[in-house]
Amino acid sequence: MRLDRTTSLLLIVDLQTGLLPAIDGGEQAVTEAAWLAGLSRMLNVPVWLTVQYPAGLGTVDPRLAAAAPAARRWEKVHFDAHQEPPFAKALGDLGRKQVIICGSEAHVCVLQTALGLLAADYRVYWLAEACASRRHDEARLARERVVAAGGIVVSADMVAYEWLERCDNEAFKAAHRDFLKPRATRPLRF
């Protein structure tokens, strides 16, 4: 039930320029998703990004694009990304069963994708500080529903320390210097 970096994937859902200004906690969601995307890059954990209806909702926030330049990108029409056959096929082929999910709106596309993944037997980890909706309380409701369906709520710090496992190697030292230490005193709403 702990996260393992060799079986993890970070999935960032619909953090798009046209949607974010309306989202309560949207700035924090982008900052923390980008932070974890940066650490993912250092630790060779794949990052995937989705967008919904980009003509109306805009492109991926540029801070995420910068933090995860090699991220695979998916455009979707279903709110649940896993209902898009190429996405489901590629995810199955990748063979990573622990999906850390975040994005907006928490109670629409993030929730539906999380439920789709759980139904397809993935382990879903809900990144609390980076799942956001127009109404904060509706994001909380989504989080409670995911937990009731078998998902696990995590913070980015939890993910990082589980991926790192121990403190006596170079990977930890680099991650601590570049990621953990700068984040340690940042105030966050979970």
CB of 163 to its own copies, least distance (A): 11
What are the φ and ψ backbone dihedral angles of 3, each rounded to 5 degrees? Answer: -80, 145
Nearer to its own copies, 70 or 148 (CB): 148
Nearer to its own copies, 48 or 126 (CB): 126
DSSP 111-151: HHHHHHHHHTT-EEEEEEEEEEBSSHHHHHHHHHHHHHTT-
CB of 15 to its own copies, least distance (A): 17
Residue among 125, 73, 70 nearest 96 (CA):
125
Nearer to its own copies, 64 or 146 (CB): 146
Q: With beta carbons less than 8 A apart as the criterion, state whether 15 and 103 touch.
A: yes
- Contacts with its own copies, residue ranges (CB under 8 A): 1-2, 22, 52-53, 77-80, 83, 107-108, 111-112, 115-116, 118-119, 128, 134-135, 137-138, 140-142, 144-145, 147-149, 152-155, 157-158, 161-162, 164-168, 184-185, 187-190
Q: With beta carbons less than 8 A apart as the criterion, state whether 154 and 100 touch.
A: yes
Nearer to its own copies, 25 or 116 (CB): 116
